[in-house]
C-alpha cells in the first residue's frame, strides 16, 4: 500500500511523555499542507521544565491575547509556566478528545493509503503521540509503530550524515514554535526531500 505522509509537530512541557504534558499538536498532509489539524491540550500534570515551557509557549494560540502580560511572555524574566498551564487547563481540550479527533482526521485523509508520521526529529515528537495514543485512545494507533525522520531521509538521499532540512532555508532564523506552523514548514521541507528522491 502506498504511503501518505503526515507532517506533525508537538509542543510539550518537558522532554518525555507521561511525566510531562503534550501542550499542542499540529499536523498537515505532505503534498497538500492546506489540509490541517491543530489542537491545544489540557496538561496531564503540573510537571514542567522552564526552558521547555518558554519554547512551547511561543506559539500557543490560547495566549494570543495575553502576550503583553509578562507572566505569559516567554521572553520575560517574569514568565510563569504555572500560569501557562492554568490557561491550558482552562482552554485546552481533553487529551482523549484530541487523540480521538486526530485519529479520525488521519483516517479521513489517508483512505486507501498507509498513513505515516513524519517529523524532524521523529524521536521526540513521535514518542509523545505514541504515548498519548496508547493512553488516551481506545483503538489502534493509526500510524502503527513506525514513522519517518525527515532529516535521516535527507541524509540518505544526499549521502551526507550532517545534512539538515534547515538547509532549504524555509525556517528563517528559527521555527515559529506553533505546532501547526512548524508542521507546515516541515511538510514543505519534506516535499523537497521527496523531490530529491524522485531523481
The set of long-range contacts for 76-83, using a CB threshold of 8 Å and a minimum separation of 24, is 79/50, 79/53, 79/54, 81/13, 81/48, 81/50, 81/53, 81/57, 82/46, 82/48
CATH superfamily of 3-197: Ribonuclease H-like superfamily/Ribonuclease H (3.30.420.10)
Residue 39's beta-bridge partner residues? 25
Using an 8 Å Cβ cutoff, are 21 and 12 in contact?
yes
Q: Among residues 68, 145, 164, 177, which one is catalytic?
A: 177
Q: Where are the domains of the chain?
A: 3-197
**Which residue from 88, 77, 4, 6 is spatially nearest to 46, judged by alpha carbons?**
88
Q: Which three cell numbers stand for residue 79?
A: 514568565
Grid cell 500557543 is found at 60
Whether residue 68 lies in the annotated active site: no
What is the residue-level pLDDT of the chain in tens, covering all 199 positions?
A: 699 999 999 999 999 999 999 999 999 999 999 999 999 999 999 999 999 999 999 999 999 999 899 999 999 999 999 999 999 999 999 999 999 999 999 999 999 999 999 999 999 999 999 999 999 999 999 999 989 999 999 999 999 999 999 999 888 777 889 999 999 999 999 999 999 998 6
Amino acid at each position: 500500500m502506498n504511503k501518505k505522509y503526515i507532517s506533525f509537530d508537538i509542543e510539550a512541557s518537558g522532554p518525555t511523555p507521561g511525566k510531562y504534558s503534550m501542550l499542542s499538536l499540529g499536523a498537515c498532509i505532505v503534498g497538500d499542507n492546506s489540509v490541517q489539524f491543530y489542537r491545544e491540550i489540557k496538561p496531564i500534570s503540573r510537571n514542567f521544565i522552564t526552558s521547555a515551557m518558554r519554547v512551547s509557549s511561543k506559539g500557543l494560540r490560547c495566549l494570543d491575547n495575553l502576550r503583553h502580560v509578562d507572566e505569559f511572555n516567554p521572553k520575560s524574566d517574569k514568565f510563569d509556566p504555572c500560569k501557562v498551564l492554568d490557561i491550558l487547563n482552562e482552554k485546552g481540550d481533553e487529551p482523549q478528545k484530541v487523540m480521538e479527533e486526530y485519529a479520525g482526521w488521519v483516517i479521513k485523509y489517508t483512505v486507501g493509503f498507509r498513513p505515516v508520521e513524519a517529523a524532524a526529529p521523529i524521536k521526540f515528537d513521535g514518542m509523545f503521540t505514541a504515548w498519548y495514543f496508547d493512553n488516551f485512545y481506545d483503538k489502534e494507533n493509526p500510524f502503527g509503530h513506525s514513522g519517518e525522520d525527515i532529516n535521516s531521509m535527507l541524509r540518505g538521499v544526499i549521502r551526507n550524515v550532517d545534512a539538515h532540512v534547515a538547509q532549504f532555508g524555509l525556517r528563517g532564523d528559527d521555527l515559529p514554535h506553533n505546532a501547526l506552523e512548524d508542521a507546515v514548514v516541515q511538510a514543505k521541507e519534506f516535499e523537497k526531500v521527496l523531490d530529491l528522491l524522485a531523481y
